[in-house]
Amino acid sequence: MHTDLFHLVPTDGKVNGMRSNNPFGEVGSASLPKYKWQQPGTSDYPGYSGVVFELIDAYKGDFARNYFYMATRYKDVIFQQLEQPDAGDDSYPVFTEWAASMLIEWHTEDPVSQKGD
């Protein structure tokens, strides 16, 4: 899991530092002006009101698919780390309900594309 390069995405160091450990989300009230391709601020997505970091639309689906890949591929490892038995169903304990809904929307609204277009 820690050596899977699929979830490694190049980024600007300043932008990555601004994100800190905040989750990705949709910003309703920005705390800073938009910087290159991300923006920190207060979430306006139903179910979460904390600080999030919003990607530009062209990358939202890509990140959603990265998250779903990792949660699917390493589901057994995740359950072990959370010290929970695998229920054998399609639940993903790494996602809260709001995050799973948002990531599905991002996947649907930003289909797979060639980068550099």
pTM of the model: 0.80
Of 74 and 101, more confident:
101
Q: What distance in Å separates the CA atoms of residue 54 and residue 46, rounded to the nearest whole number? A: 15
Mean pLDDT of the chain: 82
On the question of pLDDT at 46 being above 90, the answer is yes
Distance CA 102, CA 58 (A): 15
Confidence of residue 38 (pLDDT cuts 50, 70, 90): low
User: Which of 51, 42, 55 minimizes the C-alpha distance to 12?
Assistant: 55
Residue 80 pLDDT grade (very low, low, confident, very high; cuts 50, 70, 90): confident
**What are 62's two structure tokens?**
């890509």
Q: Please, which pLDDT band fits residue 34 given cuts at 50, 70 and 90?
A: low
Helices and strands in the chain: count of H runs, count of E runs: 4, 3
